[in-house]
A and B are shown apart, each in its own frame.
Chain A
Amino acid sequence: MAASGAPAILSLQGVAFADRRAAPSCRIDLELGRGDAAVVEVDAADTAASLVDLCLGLVDPPAGAARFLDHDWRGLSPGERFAARSRIGSVVQSQVWPTHLSIAESILAPRLYHRDRTPDQAAAEATALARTFGLPGVPAGQRDATAAGELVRAACVRAFLGAPALVVVQDPALDAMAALGVAMAQAVAAVQDRGGAVLWIIGPEGAPAARFVQPGQALRLGDRGLAPMRRSP
């Protein structure tokens, strides 16, 4: 819940999906304030990806408004959208990495592009985060030379690097890694303590890694939009 007076970090108001798989009448209302965390269960991977796209302003909703830090994505120019996304971390498609960069370069790339950290600061912060997620350091190799489990951990480092205001998690590979649950819970708590927000989108098969997180909102996306969900312990 947003603190009084402070704008919500993420606000979806009457947002409709553009994809055909979601029910046409499905409208979403979701508000994540400072220090909030929400877990949203979604049936289909396509719908989960569409929800991520809406939250990050990658697509404009056909109806309703998606706002990040009180800015409607629709009103932002492409350059402003890129700048706004510098404040969002995402654990999405953890097995997908640019082929022309090493894992370490990919992790540091947003910080070097948005100039919110010096290269040394970013490298030091990434190394500390990598240790939090059970890596000896930031993986220096290319994607093909890195184990799948390490890629998931590296994706977590990439998402939480740079003190993001919002972290969006939607990755079945991470969901299945119960061993990362404690580290994720600590990272999510750190974001919340800093006044950020976390949105974790999980599939119907559940997410062992998300069980350690104590969300303020547990929701399920159905044909009639988001509904409160009772989480199994």
Chain B
Amino acid sequence: MTVRGVHALPPRRPLRRLFAAVGDTTLGGLRGAATFAALAATVVLAGLRRSTWRPLVRLELRRVLHGVTVRALGTTIVASVLLGFALVTQAAYWLAATGQTGLIGTIIVLVLVREIAPILVGLIVLGRSGTATLIELGEARPKGWLRLMEMQGLDPVACLIMPRALGFAVGAFCLATILITSTLLAGYLVAHAIGLVAYSLWDFAGVVLQAMGPRDFVLPPLKCLAIGFFVGLVCCAIGLARREEGDDLQRVVPRGFVRSAIAILLVNGLFDLAL
């Protein structure tokens, strides 16, 4: 090797380091995605096995469902009243102004049922129950009770993750149903009160239902289930990944919140492709 050859090597190093950094980040991301996909598959398969549904798991699911659905009922109804006032009233007003009142059902289905309700419910579930899960499970390993559960032969997937993921999924579906119904009701009442619509509540409901195609009865509910499931799963995965108290909860919770929000938008986007 010549002296010139030796001196020719250093300029390549920053480039190699750049490639190495990009490669490490990419591989790390892929590994994380693969691990998360494996966890999702494990939870789904465990949920399909009858033997998983032991009394303790059923109790935990009931507790999670109560937390996700019943405790978020007030928030959901307040949000739906505000949304009804803003969305339905505005739609009725502007469609009436442009002489397109016949499109109100289509607009409501497109905007409320397909888009806003799943995302808003995902955010409500994330804000109320997801952050609580992040804190709760974020303490499981550092405080030692995850080890304690394993000592007692309690499978964390069956006892902690699966009830939360499925509870969040069913809870999101229930909340979305309540949100859509109460948004339509609140919107109609406000629009009717200020004279924007003249027809009855049943006619209004009929207009909305007629605007819905068969896929609108299948895909939006599935979207809500998927959003709830992934919010629950992301919160569980990030919470349980906290290994020691040095990893501050104040960093774990925002990390979980951001990733769950990304999951909500990602699932929403994927379902929009199908719709």
Question: Hey, which bits of chain A sit against chain B, CB under 8 A?
Answer: 52, 56, 58, 78-79, 81-86, 88, 90, 92-93, 96-100, 105, 109-110, 112-115, 119, 158
Is the beta-carbon distance between A58 and B150 smaller than 8 angstroms?
Answer: yes
**Can you identify 7 A-B contacts, CB atoms within 8 angstroms?**
A56-B151, A96-B144, A109-B154, A109-B159, A113-B54, A113-B153, A158-B152
**Contacting residue for A112 out of B54, B143, B147, CB 8 A:** B54
Question: Hey, which bits of chain B sit against chain A, CB under 8 A?
Answer: 54-57, 59, 63, 136, 139-140, 143-145, 147-155, 158-159
Given A96-B143, A109-B56, A112-B54, decide whether A85 and B148 contact each other with a Cβ distance below 8 A: no
Residues of A near B57 (CB, < 8 A) are 113
For the complex, what is the distance from the CA of A99 to the CA of B148, rounded to whole Å?
A: 12
Q: Top 4 closest A-B pairs, CB basis?
A: A85-B153, A112-B56, A113-B56, A86-B153
* Residue among A81, A88, A110 facing the most chain B CB atoms (10 A cut-off): A110
* Residue among A82, A90, A110, A114 facing the most chain B CB atoms (10 A cut-off): A82
Is the beta-carbon distance between B145 and A114 smaller than 8 angstroms?
Answer: no
Is the beta-carbon distance between A92 and B151 smaller than 8 angstroms?
Answer: yes
Is the beta-carbon distance between A88 and B148 smaller than 8 angstroms?
Answer: no
Is the beta-carbon distance between B145 and A58 smaller than 8 angstroms?
Answer: no
Is the beta-carbon distance between B145 and A82 smaller than 8 angstroms?
Answer: no
Is the beta-carbon distance between A96 and B54 smaller than 8 angstroms?
Answer: no
Is the beta-carbon distance between B149 and A88 smaller than 8 angstroms?
Answer: no
For the complex, what is the distance from the CA of A79 to the CA of B148, rounded to whole Å?
A: 16
**Contacting residue for A97 out of B63, B136, B145, CB 8 A:** B145
Residues of A near B149 (CB, < 8 A) are 98
**Contacting residue for A98 out of B54, B145, B153, CB 8 A:** B145
Residues of A near B154 (CB, < 8 A) are 82, 109-110, 113
